[in-house]
Structure 1
Amino acid sequence: MLRSMTGFGRCEEVIEGFSIQVQIKSVNHRYSDFTIKTPRFYTFLEDKLRTLAMNSIARGKVEILLNLEKQASDDKVITLDRSAAEGYMNALRLLTEYGLKDDLTLSSMTDFHDIFRIEYKETDEAHLSELVAGVFQKALEEFSQMRCTEGARLEQSLRQHLSALLHEVEAVEIRSPQCVEAYRQRLRTKLQEVLSETSVDENRILTEAALFADKTAVDEETVRLRSHIAAFETAMQTQQPIGKKLDFIVQEMNREANTIGSKGNDMEIAAHVVEMKSIIEKIREQIQNIE
C-alpha cells in the first residue's frame, strides 16, 4: 500500500484546564525533515513530539505546530510582602508631617505593585507531555488517513501507466522479428537488382540477416523491462516505505528503454520507445511524492 508524502492532520482538545491544539502537515522531500514549533514556555515538549513523529513518518518535509494554553487560573498564588507593605505605610505616615491631607487607604496601597508577589505552581511536565501526546496521536491519525487516501489515488494511476508501458513492450516484441524479416527481404531485392543475371546466394542472405538480427535484438531488454514492471507492482503491495526503491526501479526501466531505442534500428520501434519514455517519465514524476 502506497502512502503519499503530502498530508495534513489537526486535533484540538481541552483537557484538565489546558487548551491543546496540534497540527501536522507535510510535503514531499528526498529525506526526512522535521520542524517542531511550540510555545515559548513549553519547548520541553519538542523532543517528545519529534520522537512520536519519527516513529510514524519515514520520509517527507514535516511541520508540527503545537498551540498550548492554560485556561484555569488555579496555578497562580498571590501573596503579600508584609515587610514591603509596612515600609510603604511608615513612609506615608512620615509624609503627613509635611501637611499632606489625603488619608491612607487600601486603594492607595494597591498602587505599590511590588508589595504583591505572584507565584506559579510548577507544571507537571511528564503529565502534560502525556496529554499532548494523546492529542498528537489523534492529529496523526487524520494525517495518516489523508496520506493513505492520496497514496491509493497514486497507486491507481501508476497501475494504469504500468499497463500502458507493458503494452508498448509487447508491441516491440512483436515488431522486432518483423524487422529482421523485412531486412532479409530488402537485402534479397537489392541483390537481385544488382545481380540480375546471377542467382542470389541464399546462404549469404541468411548470414547477413542473422548478423542484423544479432545486432538489433532487444529480447534481453524487453525481458528485463517486463521484470522491472513486475517488481514495481510487487513493491506497491508492501507496507513499508518504498518510494526510494520505486525510484531505483524506474531508473532501470529508463535504461532498458534507451537501450531498445539505440538497438532497434526501426522507425516503428523508435515510436514505441518514445512512448515508453513518456510513460516512464510520468511514473517518475508521480513516485516523487511517495514515502
Structure 2
Amino acid sequence: MPEQPYPHLRSMTGQGRSEVSSEAGTLVIELRSVNHRGLKLVLRTNDALSAHESEISAGLRGQIERGTVTVHATLKPPPGQDLPRINQAVVKAYASQLAAATGQQLSVPTQIDLSALLTLPGVLTGDRDDDCDDAQVEQRRQLVAEGVALAVQRFNHMRHHEAVAMARVLQADLEMIGGRAQTILGLAPTVIQRYRDRLTEKIQKALAEQHLPTDPVDIIREVQIFADRSDISEELTRLASHLELFGGVLAGTHAADQTRGENDAQGAANEAVGRKLDFVIQEMFRETNTIGSKAGNAEIAEHIVEIKCAIERMRELVQNLE
C-alpha cells in the first residue's frame, strides 16, 4: 500500500461519527470542528454521559491540537433499561408526609394522587452513574473510550484528506513564487545597468548644452549610491530561505521535525504545523514587500504583485491547517 502524502498535516475543519454498542448500551459520538487559534471543546451530552464528560474531553485533547470542536455524545441504555425507575422509598416518604399533612393539620380526608407523586423530585431515577452499580459504570467507561477513539480516527481521516488537497495547492504556489524570485534575481543587475545608461545620457546631454566636460567619476558615484539603495540580493536570499523552510515544514522534512525520532511519530503528526507556516508566510511577505519597494523597476513590480497574490492565497489556506 503506497504511503499517504503529508501524513502530519490536518485541516482544522472536519467531522467524524462513531456508533458503538455493548452491554452498557449504544453510544453515538459526533465531532464537528471549525477554525480557532487554540483548542476549544464544546461538549453536549445526555444525562447518561454527564459523569463521563472529563473522559471524553481527555480523549480528544490528546488527539486534536487546534480548532473549535463541538461534540455531541448520546448513550442509550439497552432495551428495558432505558425506562426511568421509581424510587419506592422516596414515594413512601412523600405519601407519609402528605397523609400526615392532609389528615392531621388540614382536617380533610386523605386522598393522595399517586400519579402526581411521580412529578416530585427524586421519585423517578434516570440512567446516571449514581443509579448504576460499579460494573455498569465500568462498562460505560470502556464504551466511552472505544467510541471516542473511533470518532477521532474518522475525524482525523477526513481532516487529513482535506489537508492533503490544501498542501498540493500550497506547493504549487510555493513553486510559482520560487520561479518568479529567480526571475527577479536575473533582472536585478539589469536595473542598475539601465539606470546607469539613463543617467549617463541625461548628464551628457545637460553638460553638452552647457559645453562642459563629462566627469565619469561623478556618474560612477551616483550609480553606486543607487546600486546600494536598490540592492535586493539580501532580501532575495532570505526569501529563498523562507521558501525552503516553508517547503520543509509542509513536507514534514524540516530538520527540527527530523530530530523527533521514529518513536515520536505520533507527536509529530499532532503538532500544530499551521502556526509554523503562518509565521513563515509573514516573513515571506515582509521580504517581498521590501524587494518591491527597493527595486524600482516596472518589470520586477509585476512579479512582486503576483508573488503577493500567491502569498495571500497561501495565508488563507494555512489558517485552515491545524
Backbone CA RMSD of aligned residues: 2.9
For 1:262, the equivalent position in structure 2 comes to 293
Q: Report the Cα distance in structure 2 between the residues aligned to 1:204 and 1:185, rounded to whole angstroms.
A: 14
Whether contact under 8 Å (2:49, 2:74) holds in the other structure is no
Whether contact under 8 Å (1:27, 1:60) holds in the other structure is yes
Whether contact under 8 Å (2:21, 2:143) holds in the other structure is no
Q: How does 1:1-291 map to 2 (within 5 A)?
A: 1=6, 2-16=9-23, 18-73=25-80, 122-123=132-133, 124-196=136-208, 197-238=211-252, 239=269, 240-291=271-322
**Paired letter, 2:318:** I
Whether contact under 8 Å (2:25, 2:77) holds in the other structure is yes
Whether contact under 8 Å (1:4, 1:290) holds in the other structure is yes
Q: Judging changes above 3 Å, is the alpha-carbon distance between structure 1 residues 195 and 69 closer, same or farther for their aligned structure 2 residues?
A: same
Deviations 1:144-185 (A, max 9, x none): 100111111111000001111112211211111101000111
Whether contact under 8 Å (1:12, 1:20) holds in the other structure is yes
SS at match of 1:73: coil
Structure number with greater Rg is 1
Q: Report the Cα distance in structure 1 between the residues aligned to 2:288 and 2:20, rounded to whole angstroms.
A: 54
Unaligned runs of 5+ in 1: 88-110
Q: Judging changes above 3 Å, is the alpha-carbon distance between structure 1 residues 77 and 228 closer, same or farther for their aligned structure 2 residues?
A: closer
Deviations 1:128-155 (A, max 9, x none): 1111210221111110100111111111
Q: CA deviation at 1:201?
A: 2.4
Unaligned runs of 5+ in 2: 1-5, 96-112, 253-268
TM-score normalised per structure 1: 0.83
Q: Report the Cα distance in structure 1 between the residues aligned to 2:74 and 2:116, rounded to whole angstroms.
A: 32
**Paired letter, 2:165:** R
**Paired letter, 1:251:** Q
Q: CA deviation at 1:17?
A: 5.0
SS at match of 1:34: strand
Q: Judging changes above 3 Å, is the alpha-carbon distance between structure 1 residues 113 and 268 closer, same or farther for their aligned structure 2 residues?
A: closer
Kindly tell me the number of residue pairs found equivalent between the two proteins.
267
SS at match of 2:62: helix
Q: Judging changes above 3 Å, is the alpha-carbon distance between structure 1 residues 128 and 188 closer, same or farther for their aligned structure 2 residues?
A: same
Q: Report the Cα distance in structure 2 between the residues aligned to 1:260 and 1:44, rounded to whole angstroms.
A: 59
**Paired letter, 1:15:** S
